A and B are shown apart, each in its own frame.
Chain A
Amino acid sequence: MNNFSLTSYLTSNVDITTQEVELLSANCKLKRLKRGEYILQQGALCHHVFFVESGLMRQYSIDEKGKEHVIQFAPENWFLSDRESLYFNKPSLYYFQAIEDSVLIMIEEQSLLKLSKINASFLEFNNKLLHNHIRNLQNRINQLLSSTAEQRYLDFVKMYPDLLLRVPLIMVASYLGITPESLSRIRKDLATKNFRK
């Protein structure tokens, strides 16, 4: 596991020994996905926390009319999981799909629990990640209810600076809860304001 981003991600954030990293990685599996492939589909049970080693994933749902709704993007060094399925044993409502060829590390919940018990620093860091995740979800709910589409777009590009170049605009529009035409208009308006020939 020494050459993986997950290892450097952990060692740079947590006071952790090589043995402890090995404890976590011993039960991890590596999964390579081609663009368009899924690691989780609606109705299935999610058994892992996924760490994106390389590539780009998205989490989305499909409504009764067949329309997709992007919940989040997960580029390199992001975690992705369906907590309702993983911790409450419910069939997932979501699809986890690769937007680019991706490499994921599949981490078992038990390994995380074990490591949390023996390493206080890891427990603290994992909690911090969870709080950060909740903070982002909270912001996203607040924005969807109260912010203008332009403000949501600006927050999106702040959170994910390079995704506009990696994700089809239709998915960005879906994430923002607007039509692709509205997204084009927002970008056009910003260009009119900010472009100096």
Chain B
Amino acid sequence: MTKQQSKISDKSSELLRLSTAGSVDDGKSTLIGRLLYDSKSIFQDQYDAIEAVSIRRGEEGINLALLTDGLKAEREQGITIDVAYRYFSTPKRKFIIADTPGHIQYTRNMVTGASTANVALILIDARQGVLEQTKRHAIIASLLQIPHLVICINKMDLVEYSQEVYDRIHDEFEDFASKLDVHDVNFIPISALKGDNIVDRSTNMSWYEGSTLLYYLENVHIASDYNFIDVRFPVQFVVRPYSDDYHDYRGYAGRVAGGILKKGDEVMLLPSGFTTRISKIESYKDEIEEAYPPMSVTVHIEDDFDLSRGDMIVRANNVPKQEQDIDLMICWFHEKPLQERGKYILRHTTKEARCIIREVRYRMDVNTLHRDMQSKTIGMNDIARISIRSTLPLFIDSYQRNRITGSVILIDEGTNETVAAGMII
């Protein structure tokens, strides 16, 4: 075997997770294909393959949309279902795109793709303007608390690159977004097909003074998208070597869910409420001074308390709520509707519990934000506010405060399928 030291200086680049949603024909596949192509993330054999298909189908030019085509069944139906992940990178950043279909029947897929995203990209066809589904995507982005929203007004080439059209759509969307919990919204007029304002500045829209899409994605500030204030360390796994060299070793492994843990810090252990200090933080063979989200580390404490999976290390003066009665916004994922009074398995951080649905408060119309207090039947793709009671107290924060300690999934006890995603209010 060969061991070699790299001489390339380690250029540090951030990871940005992007979710996209668009309805059929808005140009989402073309846009993603263009980003991959223009950032040179496409290989020659992939390019040759789509070129061959484009020619066979008699299309004019290379259809970049084919690059992001998914599974066989979908290819046959000519639509994308589910969530597909795409990768591209530039010297500045690595991007993971969660590519989801935009139709209402795929709300659950959009929710899935949005759950970890830093940026939501919403496409609008310039000829059509703000549609019901545009609003739906924005509502989902706000519900899932995606920190940044970028609205791409596409097919500008088909409206003569008109500033008037752009302004009208811009104002209409902004008007609507003021009702949402979104903080950072950006607008970019583009043509995915022709490449205007994707990587290079468009010469057809000199009236637009903002950045290109790629420039935006490379520079949007994402370093503070995690919560660095409230220390939350859910114990994932207890490391016990059972070997002579490490006889008394007991480390608590996990991924930091919030705040900055430091060696020597006084901490509180949940659920016991005992306090102690962090004696050591390890990352593989290295001892480190601090750990912060989303690092996977191993934490040691001074006193001989026993912690297990599902317990949490926090700061004594900043504890999460410890509750059994919890209010959630949920997105329902399953064909079998939610059962009021029904029992489900619940997962929150590294903890598993059971819960009962106490009440459906209302169903929310994802197109209008309207709260329907009457209809209590929650079916697939519905968004609803519910109250549950869990068998064990959970250590929770509101989803708005922390996306990790504020989220849960519900699992059907009979089929073991994931039936809902929940955001703690």
Q: Do A and B bind each other?
A: no
Task: Give residues in A with beta carbon < 8 Å to B.
Answer: none
